[in-house]
Amino acid sequence: MSEVWALYDAERRPLGRVMRRGEPVPEGCYHLSVQVWIRDGAGRFLISRRHPDKPMFPLCWETPGGAAVAGEDSLAAALREVREELGIALSPEKGALLMSRRRREDFSDVWLFRWDGGLDALTLQPDEVVDARWAAYDELCAIEDAGEWVETLHYFRALFGGAPDAPAAILPMRPEDYDEVYALWHSTPGTGLNDVDDSREGVARFLARNPSTCFVARAAEGVVGTILAGHDGRRGHLYHAAVDPSMRGRGVGSALVRAALDALKEEGIAKAAIMVFADNESGLRFWQARGFGGRSDVRYMDVTLRPIVKFDPK
C-alpha cells in the first residue's frame, strides 16, 4: 500500500486532507519532506548510493530523506528515514533543523545530525541503497563534479562550504536563536555585554534593522558561533563574533566574518569596523589576520543616552 501524506497550504497550515504517494499534488497544496545530513566529529558526511533500479538518479550518491507520512512531524520523519535507509537510530538531542524551504510541491526541511558510528553499524535498505561511506566536504564536491550526486542536493556547497572542516552550517541569525546565542556570548570572555543592546528585545531590534547581515554557525548540538553585522547606509559595524571552544581553529570564525562582510558588500557598504578590547590579545590577532587594522588619527568617543549595565563575561 502506498504512503499517505498530509497536505498543507502555502503557509504550512494543515488542511486536514491527505493524498497517496504517486498521486498528483492538488493545486495550491503541499506535502512535507525531509533531507538529513549526518556528520561525525571530524566533519565528514555520511552518504549513501541509490539502487541502480531507482527511476531517478540511479547509482547517484545522496543523503537520507523522503516524504513525511500523515501523522508524522518533521523530526519523526527525519529519524524514520534514516532508520529505514541506513538502519541506525539517531538521537533527537543530536539533531538540529537547519532550514525549511517551500518548493513547487512540498515543504522541504533540512536536518543536521551528529553521529560517530562506524559503517559496520549500518543496515542498508534493500532495493533502495547499495552502498554507504563517509566523505569529506572536498570529496562531496568531487562526486558532484563527476555527475554522481543527486542534483536536488546541490545546495550543500552554500550550506557547508563556509567552514567545510567543521560539522556546522553558516545560517542567517533569527530572533528565535536568541537563547542559544546569548548563552554563547555569556560564556565567551571579552564579549562585552549590556542589559539593553544584548537583551532579547535589543537583539530582536537589531535583527529587524539588519535582517540579512547577521549569522550563526549551527551544529547538530546547537549554536556554536555568532556574528552581528549592521550598517547605517555608510559604514558597517561588526559585533559579538564568538565561537564555541570546541569549534575554534576549524574555520568557523573566519566563515562567519566572510558571511557578514559579503552581506554588507551586497548592501553597498564599502568599509566595516569592529571594536576590540585593548587587552583582548587573541581577538586583536584574529581581526588583524583578516585584514582589519587600527587607526592612530582618530579616537573612539560615545555618549550614553539611557542607563545601561555593562558586564564582561570572565
Residue-wise pLDDT tens digits, 173-230: 999 999 999 999 999 988 889 999 999 999 999 999 999 999 999 999 999 999 999 9
- Give the domain range for residue 173: 168-311
Total domains in the fold of the chain: 2
93 burial level (CB within 10 Å; 0-12, 13-18, 19+): exposed
Quick one: 143 and 177 in the same domain? no
* pLDDT grade for 314, boundaries at 50, 70 and 90: low
| In a shared domain, residues 11 and 155 | yes
Choosing from 118, 144, 160, the residue where a domain stops is 160
The model carries a pTM of 0.91
11 and 142 inside one domain:
yes
Note whether 94 and 222 are same-domain residues: no
Average pLDDT, the chain: 95
Same domain, 107 and 156: yes
State whether 172 and 156 are in the same domain: no
Say what percent of the chain tops pLDDT 90: 92
Which pLDDT score, from 0 to 100, does residue 122 have? 98
Tracing cell 587573541 back to the chain, one arrives at 282
> Last residue of a domain, which of 160, 178, 202?
160
Q: So what's the pLDDT on residue 24?
A: 96
pLDDT > 70 in the chain, percent: 99
